[in-house]
Amino acid sequence: MATTTGNAAKNIQESAGHGVERAKDAASSAMDKAKDVAKAAGDKAKDVAKAATDKAKDMAHTAGDYADSATSKVGGGMESLAGTIREHTPHEGVIGSAASKVADGLESAGKYLEKEGLTGMAGDLTDVIKRNPIPALLIGIGLGFLLSRATSRS
């Protein structure tokens, strides 16, 4: 009977050992699958983020093109208005001189807007601020003050 009990204990021990090995294999397999799923999810997240970034860049580029186009159209309108002022105002006297100066200013500004667009204007403004930082700072403070006064009364 002792031999039978010994054999049974040995069989139980071997079965337990096999069960432990199978549990280790199952755990290892589950870990590998979890790693694969996590890697796939990470790759998918990267792809989605890249697609969203590309779409945002395209939209920003399109909006910039639209803004430059609109600015160019405004410039053309200003030049047209300058021509209309020249046609419908007297050419001599104080009024004629003032109208001519206004038309010249509109025409010059219109050509600038058509040529440079918003991108060129931003670059020119940046250059002016770099050359004159203190006056630019004071103008910014003054505009901020005026805006705060204007919005606080509403």
Tokens of 144: 């901020």
Nearby residues of 112 by Cβ (< 8 Å), 6 or more positions away? 75
Span 28-79, pLDDT tens digits: 787 888 888 888 888 888 888 888 888 888 887 787 778 878 888 888 888 8
Q: How many domains does the chain have?
A: 1
Measure the CA angle with vertex 72, ends 71 and 78; round to 5°. 90
Is 90 part of a structural domain of the chain? yes
Classify residue 1 by its DSSP letter: -
Examine residue 11 and state whether it is found in any structural domain, yes or no: no
* 40 in a structural domain: yes
- Domain membership of residue 6 (yes or no) is no
| CA–CA dist 128, 116 (Å, integer) | 15
The pTM assigned to this predicted structure is 0.51
Q: What would the two tokens of residue 102 be?
A: 């206004």
Query: What's the whole-number average pLDDT of the chain?
Result: 83
Structural domain contains residue 108: yes
Q: Which of 124, 90, 85 shows the shortest CA–CA distance to 105?
A: 85
* Residue 112 maps to a domain: yes
Q: Is residue 141 part of a domain?
A: no
Residue 68: inside a domain: yes
Whole domain around residue 58: which residue ranges?
Answer: 24-116
